[in-house]
A = this chain, B = another copy of it.
Amino acid sequence: MPDDHVFRMMLRALSGNVPANIESFISRGLAMIQTPYLLFLGDAPDQLAAKVAQGIKDWRPENAVGQFRMAGCGADVGLADMTLEEGIAAGAKTLVIGVANRGGFISDAWKEVLVKALQMGYDIASGLHNLLRDEDALQAAARVNGQTLFDVRIPSVAYPIANGVKRTGKRCLAIGTDCSVGKMYTGLCMDAEMQKRGMKTTFRPTGQTGILITGGGVPLDAVIADFMAGAVEYLTPDNDDDHWDHIEGQGSLFHVSYSGVTMALIHGGQPDALILTHEPTRTHMRGLPDYDLPSLEALRDMALPIARVANPNCQIVGIAINSSKLDDAAAAAYIAEVEGRMGLPTTDPFRFGAGKLVDALDGL
């Protein structure tokens, strides 16, 4: 059943103002954000606060025409500075909030810009905790102008319950010894490497940042328990036999706060290939000071029987190390040690390229 937001999108389609991607939107039910974007950096205090905008610039530069910065902005993702008018002239369809908001609320200074953007014909997309739709001024301006507010933290689709039916095409999923060890980057790196090689590939986001980078996906951590695996099935439909989905990983089987989300990803995603990911300097599980990290061996031994419930042919094909806290020599030594110990192709795909991991998919 289409919810309010989907209904508005359909209305817009009927009234002739059809987004380029409306057909895939309707057939897949994914809330596709229209590209290209103008990236809103607002008054970001520093570069770190502009992580989302940086991700878009790094991974889908073709999705952004420029950046919009307000007085006092301390971030710069290296795109052309544009006014809202210049963004429109350059073809921008959506203003994407590429920055965390100070104090966790949407300031009056921001609101003034955002309302003006809606009046000029931009949609707005945001992964902020506080929702655009909860701001009366933005709701009103969007309604009057027929524009859409995308709060990508909130599911916009009534996902089905998973049916477990085997789908065509291939799927790869990165799973981690902990949360935030580089699963999204691993998927993005492998997708980019496959694109470079002219292979059929799609990155399938399951979190806010990934959704904003590509324009669509499933905010899995916000889905109702019974529909998690179904949402992942929905995200990664039947495809060509030689097409790879790189599904963005979430949580960890060993992280007691979020392991259920990881489980649903593995069983809904029915991956053909798993990549183990690890950050070697972590001293305990993220946010859980009493919990040690598991070894890569323990992760392998737990994950493979779980994955084979949904896909008996699943293989663990490689290991991605997040070596960002090691110098070059230490990173190379650590990777060589793991590769020897585990007998699996091992690299830091962000630092040294994902070629080794893509090679490892060969023959699956």
Contact = CB atoms under 8 A, between A and B. Distances in A.
A11 interface: no
A49 interface: no
Nearest to A291: B164
A141 interface: no
Nearest to A302: B305
B291 A302 contact: no
A165 B290 contact: yes
Nearest to A252: B309
B228 A260 contact: yes
A163 interface: yes
A257 B162 contact: yes
A69 B229 CA distance: 40
Given A164-B290, A165-B290, A290-B166, A230 B259 contact: no
From A226, A253, A257, name the one whose CB has the most chain B CB atoms within 10 angstroms. A257
B164 A256 contact: yes
A159 to B, nearest CB: 11
B225 A162 contact: no
A254 B288 contact: no
Given A162-B256, A301-B305, A302-B306, A221 B226 contact: yes
Q: How many copies of this chain sit in the oligomeric assembly?
A: 2
Nearest to A305: B302
A226 B220 CA distance: 9
Contact of A257 (B224, B230, B290): B230
A267 interface: yes
B261 A256 contact: no
A265 to B, nearest CB: 8
Contacts of A253: 263, 306, 309
Given A290-B164, A290-B166, A256 B225 contact: no
Contacts of A163: 257, 287-288
Nearest to A161: B257
A310 interface: yes
A221 B301 CA distance: 28
Given A223-B225, A253-B263, A259-B267, 13 more contacts: A161-B257, A163-B257, A163-B287, A164-B256, A164-B257, A221-B225, A225-B228, A226-B261, A229-B257, A230-B257, A259-B306, A260-B263, A291-B309
